[in-house]
Chains A and B, each alone.
Chain A
Amino acid sequence: MTEKMILIPGRSAKQGTSLNIGKLKDEYKEVTSTLEMNTDEMAKRGLVDGDKVRLSNDIGETIVSCIGKKPEDLPDGMLFIPYGPPSSELMASDTAGCGMPLSKHMEVEIEKIST
């Protein structure tokens, strides 16, 4: 099943500490490829913590692991990921004349990867 959702890449404390260790190290790679989704949305898709999903849009696609958040914290239809190489795969380069690509609120399709 695929369905469009809004992806918000942003900072997290764990991302901040792991980038100090090194951006090519496993810890940073893991942090930036862990997707937060509310537990209702996960249940709807038969997902549990650690499952892999494919995020895609007309720019590209990336595969990440998902982890549950309380529905009152992260609303339906919304996803959060610490920004990094996976979120770059989905980011359009058009800056609408201001230099800034749309780096948050990206529309993406999400699909469970069968294991």
Chain B
Amino acid sequence: MAENTKIIENATCTFCGCVCDDMILTVDLDEKKIIKSKNACVLGRAWFAEHTIDEDAPAAMIDGKEVSVEEAIEEAAQTLTKAKFPITYGLSDTTCEAQRQAVAITDRIKGNIDTTTSVCHGPSGLAFQGVGESTSTLGEVKNRADLVIYWGGNPAESHPRHFGRYAVTPKGMFTPRGKKDRTVVLVDVRKTKSSPVADILIRPKPGKDFEVLWALRALVKGKKLSDDIEERTGVPLEVLQDLSDRMKNCRFGVLFFGMGLTMTRGRHFNSGALLALATDLNEFTHFVAKPVRGHGNVTGADNVVSWQTGYPFGVNFSRGYPRFNPGEFTTVDTLANGHADAAMIIASDPASNFPKKAIQHLKSIPVVVLDTKMTETSKDAHVAFRTSTYGINTSGTVYRMDDVPITLRPAFESPFPDDESILKGINKRVNELMLAKHYASGASGEVKVAAPI
């Protein structure tokens, strides 16, 4: 039994987009680790238990050799400023303060910035721009929603507390009996660990989500569907009619949607169809649609990149101003097309989950990595920083999946620097190098460059 402990109340778990801020952590100060995480789910318990301090690990490496953090910052800045098409990627597992620095660096080096959103709910981001978003906080869902629909996701395994804390079982102002006051619908091609929570389980044929959503739009508008709808989609007409009626007659409905829509054929058209259905339903009742976001601060990444560039992801600064073009400036494309000639990867591991062709190119260019652990991406990096963990060792701001900002309460100190301080150092040095490059090109006169933030 540890003797030198402290309790951190109302700490925040940043593992997934639920960002539960009701953790009660017990910290062993001698061993520098969290020994108990009350209220955490299975994923949260692993998050807190496994982020311990490896005192033997170097804080910084260049080509696999240990160096000082200052030397690594210098090499990172040199690498990024020498590149013709440097890319910045990741950002979903770090604070908004660090994300802000990453945007500033990319702006200065006229690079390309993208976040894990592009391989997550990026298609939904496009659909938001095309269709709009009827939205709410998770608090409103808890207090008001009497019809909860999950489409293309398995929250029981990916966001285990989504049901209990926000949407299915909690008792709210207008849902005093919790689940008894709600109807829960799950739409998925397979039966998952989430299925038992559903009152109604709908299993379309794979790749037929768009058709099912469009059929529901038609029914909501009172149109007649062709008799072969079940043959086309795998969902009987009477099931669709029943769901349509429930959606029109509920008091407050919510459509939560996941990667089953965005990663499959149709992509942004699938998300757009769902958002359009939510919009249609507001002619009859109150209906909202929310993407279920994956990483702890992926929503913050969307917000910060939007504040600073006007666009949420896939932004290029090569002409000196931000341009948004998914399919060109998104990271799978900049890598697979062979455009990127240097990369800074922050709190992400594309080498373990990107398409093979993109990974092959990533391994052929100099890469700067900031991560809390060794990964497929960091093990081959030109410059690798080992960082402290946000929410466990460092404070800062993260955004819950419903765009609610939450301040982190760290549990114990780490000997490793945090993302923000490393990025500040790179930002400062990049600024100096870009000015030197400007004057070396023969330019004269004073250049107005904003001081590093």
Contact = CB atoms under 8 A, between A and B. Distances in A.
B267 A100 contact: yes
A20 interface: yes
Interface of A: 6, 8, 10-13, 16-18, 20-24, 59-60, 72-75, 78, 80, 83-85, 87-105
Contacts of B291: none
B260 A13 contact: no
A22 B373 contact: yes
Contact of B123 (A21, A93, A98): A98
B438 interface: no
Nearest to B191: A73
B278 to A, nearest CB: 21
24 contacts: A10-B259, A11-B294, A16-B157, A21-B50, A22-B373, A24-B379, A59-B356, A73-B190, A73-B191, A74-B190, A74-B191, A75-B189, A75-B203, A84-B353, A89-B356, A90-B356, A93-B357, A95-B330, A99-B122, A100-B267, A102-B264, A104-B260, A104-B263, A105-B263
A18 B63 CA distance: 27
B43 A93 contact: no
B352 interface: yes
Contacts of A94: 336
Nearest to B350: A88
Given A13-B43, A88-B355, A104 B190 contact: no
A83 B120 CA distance: 13
A80 B190 contact: yes
A13 B376 CA distance: 21
Contacts of B333: 93, 95, 99
B206 A101 contact: no
B43 A17 contact: yes
Contact of B206 (A22, A23, A78, A88): A78
A88 B352 contact: yes
Interface in B264-308: 264-265, 267-268, 294
Contacts of B379: 24
A21 B15 CA distance: 13
Contact of A95 (B15, B43, B327, B353): B327
A99 B259 contact: no
Given A95-B330, A99-B333, A23 B373 contact: yes
B332 A60 contact: no
A101 B248 CA distance: 35
Interface in B54-82: none
A93 B331 CA distance: 10
